[in-house]
Amino acid sequence: MSAIRYLLLIIAIVIVLLFLIDVHPQLLLNKINQKVSSVVKLNQSENVLNDDSFVFSFISKKNNATLLVNNHRINTDIAVTYEQKARGFMNREKCIDCAILFAYDKKEAISFWMKNVSFDLLLVGAEPREINISAIRNLTTVVLEVKNVGIMKSCNDLSESSLCPTYSFNEPYSIYIEIPYIPGKFDTNSIRKGSLIVLSTQHT
């Protein structure tokens, strides 16, 4: 190969890498839907994505992740242990662009207690739609499809015999997400059944 051809090949590779790395948040979801890796296609053909434990194995190894919801990036804590799930947003101050994701290795009907939560929460029940594993960006991306959504009212009750209500859906899900309720941004109009949420975690 001549020196000129070798140089042109290097330039082409650099351009492709820059294109892959520089992904605008608003285009991320479209790129994932259009450029699903061969690994994901293989998994879909084998119905691996129907196995909740397959997705759980990716999510549960991380303490945090990033959610892309309606072009908003949300820093998200991942609750896997019993203690993390029981604590949730209890005794925490309201935060902006934050969330807690509750991951299960199978679909479960879960009740959420709002005791000692001083602000309203949006509760989302979701299921994985596809997975994209990028070796170049060292990133695992899971596309979640919203199956149900509701509002949980605050109940800042410090008494031991609290009458704070619990909230649950009629159907079980393998992933639940709590997001501080913000009208016009994170509510039942902006996030509804069929909406897609992109979860990204760094993998090793």
Domain count, the chain: 1
Q: What is the CATH number of the domain that holds 128?
A: 2.60.120.1140
Residue 23 in any domain: the answer is no
SS3 167: strand
Mind listing the pLDDT tens digit for each residue in 68-123?
A: 998 899 999 999 888 999 899 998 888 888 999 999 988 999 999 998 899 999 99
Domain residue limits at 93 = 36-202
Token pair belonging to 130: 């596809």
Residue 14 in any domain: the answer is no
Between the CA atoms of 120, 166, 197 and 60, what dihedral angle is there, to the nearest 10 degrees? 120
Question: Taken in order 175, 183, 121, 188, is the CA torsion positive or negative?
Answer: negative
Greatest C-alpha distance within the chain: 80
Mind listing the pLDDT tens digit for each residue in 143-176?
A: 999 999 999 999 987 666 568 889 999 999 999 9
Residue 96 in any domain: the answer is yes
Residue 62 in any domain: the answer is yes
Residue 1 in any domain: the answer is no
At 180, is the pLDDT very low, low, confident or very high (cuts 50, 70, 90)? very high
Distance from CA of residue 50 to its chain's centroid? Answer: 17
Residue 8 in any domain: the answer is no
- Asked whether the predicted pLDDT for residue 18 surpasses 80, the reply is no
pTM score, whole prediction: 0.72
Residue 48 in any domain: the answer is yes
